[in-house]
Amino acid sequence: MDEKIEHRPDRSLGFAIHLGLILINSAISGYLLYRALSSEMQGVFILYLIASIITFIPAPFLFYQAFALARAKYVITRDGIAIQWGLRTEDIPIEEIEWIRRPRDFVHPITQPPFRLPGAVLASCNDRDLGLIEYIATEKKRVVLVATHTKVFALSPGNPYAFINDFHRSAELGSFSPFKKQSSRPQLILTQLLRDKTARSILIASLSISLILLIAVSFIIPSISTVPLGLESSGEIQETSPAERLILLPFLSLLLFFIDLGYGAYLFRKKGFKNASYIIFFSSLLLPISFSILVFVILIL
């Protein structure tokens, strides 16, 4: 039976930095949204709202990097090394691996990529001696180099020496059925989604309706002071609420879109789950349509 030895990178510093940046990002975006809702001038309201949205843009990427770090692991088997980093997977067959070493084994320091946040060192660079080096690591210095026929992978297991020893021990046992070389990346998954007519149509429609709803609400809010919460059985309007709360509708719609996009993409890449991913994508379309109808009903009351 093939023994699988799992090594995980040190994630404490990466988690702390990413969670800190997410909190700071959310706080700044929330403050700008508060200023937008407090403004009585339409022009100022729109400027603050746009600033709030632009400030919030890095948040989904930071969330994904934190998610990827939580799933990061390197698995050693007799058949090769399997790398998992978020939605990305790399399967390196044992016959593809030429050697595995530490950077200190070389006379010249290896080339390191430009600045990357700790916990998300995902980049490629060219070294004069080793050629192409691809970092899939949490840090740049404390790495293990795994050379293949085409490039060198820089990995950062929590215990580099144990990782190297486990690899050599597994390699000595020999492989019965080496797995095929495989590479799956998030950008490739998004490319596949865009090539799929059904998924592309649903996602574009969902995002477009959410953005149109956001633009419409941003112009509606300064023009009215309150919005009704419903009707009594007699047909009279119930209590009202500040119009600024309407902005929550497009924000919730966009938030659900990104959540459904991530989870749907995760299912899309799994064999036999394509129809399930369509259902997830379709749910992101129902909410903005429902919110748009709700806004229309509120305006005619």
> Can you give the three-state secondary structure of the chain, one letter per residue?
CCCCEEECCCCHHHHHHHHHHHHHHHHHHHHHHHHHHHCCCHHHHHHHHHHHHHHHCHHHHHHHHHHHHHHCEEEEECCEEEEEECCEEEEEEHHHCCEEECHHHCCCCCCCCCCCCCCCEEEEEEECCCEEEEEEECCCCCCEEEECCCCEEEECCCCHHHHHHHHHHHHHHCCCCCCCCEEECHHHHHHHHHHCHHHHHHHHHHHHHHHHHHHHHHHHHHHCCEEECCECCCCCECCEEEHHHHHHHHHHHHHHHHHHHHHHHHHHCCCCCHHHHHHHHHHHHHHHHHHHHHHHHHHHC
Distance CA(165)–CA(160), nearest Å, equals 9
pLDDT at 75: 94
Residues 19-26, mean pLDDT to the nearest whole number: 92
Distance CA(208)–CA(284), nearest Å, equals 11
Distance CA(31)–CA(28), nearest Å, equals 5
281-298, pLDDT tens digit by residue?
Answer: 898 888 889 888 888 877
Considering the domain boundaries, does residue 58 fall inside one? Answer: no
CA 226-232-235 angle, 5° bins = 95
Considering the domain boundaries, does residue 54 fall inside one? Answer: no
Q: Is the pLDDT of residue 176 over 80?
A: no
Considering the domain boundaries, does residue 260 fall inside one? Answer: yes
Q: Is the pLDDT of residue 76 over 80?
A: yes
Q: Do the beta carbons of residue 178 and residue 79 sit within 8 Å?
A: yes
87-106, pLDDT tens digit by residue?
Answer: 788 889 888 899 999 998 88
Q: Is the pLDDT of residue 301 over 80?
A: no
Distance CA(215)–CA(160), nearest Å, equals 52
Number of domains the chain is built from: 1
Considering the domain boundaries, does residue 165 fall inside one? Answer: no
Place 229 in a pLDDT band, splitting at 50, 70 and 90. Answer: low
pLDDT at 227: 67
Distance CA(91)–CA(88), nearest Å, equals 10
138-169, pLDDT tens digit by residue?
Answer: 998 889 999 998 899 999 999 999 999 999 88
Distance CA(176)–CA(122), nearest Å, equals 32
Pairing status of strand 182-184 against strand 152-155: unpaired
| Tokens found for residue 261 | 């996009």
- Specify the range with the lowest mean pLDDT, choosing from 20-24, 119-123, 232-236: 232-236
249-272, pLDDT tens digit by residue?
Answer: 888 888 888 888 888 887 887 778
pLDDT at 219: 78
Length of the chain: 301
Considering the domain boundaries, does residue 119 fall inside one? Answer: no
Place 187 in a pLDDT band, splitting at 50, 70 and 90. Answer: low
Place 191 in a pLDDT band, splitting at 50, 70 and 90. Answer: confident
Residues 44-49, mean pLDDT to the nearest whole number: 75
pLDDT at 43: 61
Q: Is the pLDDT of residue 233 over 60?
A: no
% of the chain residues with pLDDT over 70? 86
Considering the domain boundaries, does residue 174 fall inside one? Answer: no
> Could you tell me how far CA 8 lies from the centroid of its own chain?
19
Which amino acid type is present at position 199? Answer: A
Q: Is the pLDDT of residue 224 over 80?
A: no
Q: Is the pLDDT of residue 1 over 60?
A: no
| Tokens found for residue 219 | 């112009």
Considering the domain boundaries, does residue 244 fall inside one? Answer: yes
**Alpha carbon separation from 292 to 5, 49, 56, 288 (Å, rounded):** 51, 19, 23, 6
Considering the domain boundaries, does residue 19 fall inside one? Answer: no
> Could you tell me how far CA 119 lies from the centroid of its own chain?
14
Residues 67-90, mean pLDDT to the nearest whole number: 90
Q: Which domain holds residue 217?
A: 185-301
| Tokens found for residue 160 | 């580099």
